[in-house]
Amino acid sequence: MQLAPYAAQLSSSRGRRFAEEAPTYRSDYQRDRDRIVHSSAFRRLEYKTQVFVNHEGDMFRTRLTHSIEVAQLSRSIARILELNEDLSETIALAHDLGHTPFGHAGQDALNASMKDYGGFEHNLQSLRTVDKLEQSYAEFPGLNLTFESREGILKHCSPKNAKQLGDVGERFLKKQLPSLEAQTVNLADEVAYNNHDVDDGLRSGLINMEQLLDIRLFREQFDLVQKQFPDIQDRRQVHEIIRRMINRQVIDLIDTTRHNLQRLKPGSIDDIRNHTHELAGFSPDMLEMNQELKRFLRKQMYSHFRVHRMSVKATHIIQHLFNAFLDDPRLLSPKYHSIVKQKQAEHGDAGKARAIADYIAGMTDRYAIAEYGKIFNPGELT
C-alpha cells in the first residue's frame, strides 16, 4: 500500500498504552481493527438503534450496518488519497461503540440522568469502551489500541474531560487536529447517515419522494435517473438515486481534500495535526447541499411524531432504569452489583453513577426493554 507522506505511518505511531510485541503477520492498525471486530461492544451494535428501533423492521439500518457502511466509504476515500486504509477502517468500525440503546434519545436521557456526576457523552463513551470497558485480554484492560486509533475515535471533548484523558486529550487543549484518516472518517459518517436516512425514511413512509424533490442534492440525481431510465420505479429508483448521491458526495470530498493537500503540501501527519483547520472537506456548493438535506431530515424525519413517540418511550426507559439502579443497586445481577459497589468504594457516588451509566450504555435496545419489563412489570418473570 502506497502511503502519502501526510498519512499515518506505523513508523511514526505513538504506540499503545501498554507496550506489546508487534504482530506477526498484521500491521498494528490491522490488529486494532481485528480487536474491535472481536469485541462484545461491536457485536451489540447489531441491536442498537440508528434512527429506527431494532424491532421496527428488519430492513432498516442498525448501528452495526451503519458502521460497516462508514468503513466502506472510509476505505475507498483512504485508498484514493493514499491514507492509511487500515487505520481508517479501524476508526470507522469503532466510531459508534459508545452509543446507548435508542440512539440520540437514549444518549440525551442518560446525559440528563448523569448531570450531577459528570454527564454522559456517546463519543467519549466510545473511547471509554475501547480503553476500559472491554475486558478480554489478560495483560491489559480494554483493547489497548494504538494512539492513532484512539485519537481518531475521540472526535470532540470538553477541556475539563480532556485534562483527565492524558495523551489523547492533549489536542483539545492545544487546539490541534486529528489525522486525515480521522477527519475523512468523520465526513464519511455524515455521508453514510444522511443518505441511508433518506433511504430508511422513504422505506418507512416518514418522508416521501415529493418532499425530497425540493432538496437539490436529491433532485439533481432524480432528474438524471429519470432521463436515463424513465420507466424505473419503486425501490430500484430510490436506490439508483441514493447510490448516485453518495457517489457525488464522496467524489466531491476526495477532490476538495486533494485540492487542499496539493495547495498546502503537508509533509507529515504532524503537519496535518498542527494545521489551523481541517484539510478534509466538501466544496462550498456541496456543503450547502448537505446542509439543506440535513435541515430537511431534522424537520421532516427526526421530529416526525412516530420518531418522537419512540424517543419519549426511550427516555422513559433509560431514566427509570437509571433511577432504579441508583436507588437500589441490588436490582442488578450480582456481577454488575459488585462492579457498582467497587466503583462506589473507589470514587464515591460519582463512581457508582458512572458504573450504572456504563451498564445502561452497553445495553442493546431489546435488552433495555426486557430489563425495564423485568423490573417494572409485575406480570413479567425476573
Q: What are the residues whose beta carbons fall under 8 Å from the beta carbon of 290, sequence distance 6 or more? A: 190, 194, 217, 249, 282
Of 108-116, 182-190, 199-207, 363-371, which segment contacts Mg ion by CB under 5 A?
Answer: 182-190
The correct pick among 108, 151, 189, 240 for binding Mg ion (CB under 5 A) is 189
Choose the binding region for Mg ion from 76-84, 103-111, 119-127, 184-192 (rule: CB under 5 A). Answer: 184-192
Rg (CA), the chain: 22
- Paired with 146 in beta bridges are 16
Total interface residues for Mg ion by CB under 5 A: 2
Question: Would you say 13 or 179 has its CB closer to Mg ion?
Answer: 179
- Among residues 127 and 269, whose Cβ is nearest to Mg ion? 127
Are 82 and 88 spatial neighbours (Cβ–Cβ below 8 Å)? Answer: no
Shortest Å, Cβ 193 to Mg ion = 6
Give me the least distance between CB of 335 and Mg ion, in Å please: 30
Tell the smallest beta-carbon distance from residue 123 to Mg ion (Å). 10
From CA 217, how far away is CA 292, in angstroms rounded? 8
CB 245 to Mg ion: min, Å: 18
Mark the segment that binds Mg ion (CB under 5 A) among 34-42, 187-195, 208-216, 329-337. 187-195
**Angle at alpha carbon of residue 332, lines to 326 and 337, rounded to 5°:** 85
Tell me the window of 93-101, 159-167, 269-277, 340-348 that interacts with Mg ion (CB under 5 A): 93-101
**Residue placing its CB nearer to Mg ion in the complex, 122 or 352:** 122
- Which is nearer to Mg ion, 189 or 197 (by Cβ)? 189
Using CB under 5 A as the binding rule, whether residue 199 contacts Mg ion is answered as no
Closer CB to Mg ion, 67 or 144, in the complex: 67
- Is residue 96 close enough to count as binding Mg ion by CB under 5 A? yes
What stretch of H or E contains 239? Answer: helix 234-264
What is the separation of C-alpha 291 from the centre of its chain, rounded to a whole number of angstroms? 19
- The pairs formed by 308-313 with CB atoms below 8 angstroms and a separation of 24 or more are 310/53, 310/56, 310/102, 310/105, 311/102, 311/104, 311/105, 312/105
What is d(CA 318, CA 361) in angstroms, rounded to the nearest whole number? 9
Judged by CB under 5 A, which stretch of 89-97, 325-333, 339-347, 360-368 contacts Mg ion? Answer: 89-97
Nearer of residues 129 and 144 to Mg ion, judged by Cβ = 129
C-beta closer to Mg ion: residue 73 or 318: 73
State the minimum distance, in angstroms, from the CB of residue 231 to Mg ion.
Answer: 36
What is the C-alpha to C-alpha distance for residues 90 and 145, in angstroms, rounded to an integer? Answer: 10
Q: Which residues of 82-104 are buried (b: 16+ CB within 10 A; e: fewer)?
A: bbbbbbbbbbbbbbbbbbbbbbb
Please spell the DSSP secondary structure of 108-138, one letter per residue. HHHHHHTGGGT---HHHHHHHIIIII----S
Among the residue ranges 92-100, 146-154, 229-237, 299-307, the one whose residues contact Mg ion (CB under 5 A): 92-100
Closer Cβ to Mg ion, 266 or 362, answer by number? 362
Binding site for Mg ion (CB under 5 A): 96, 189
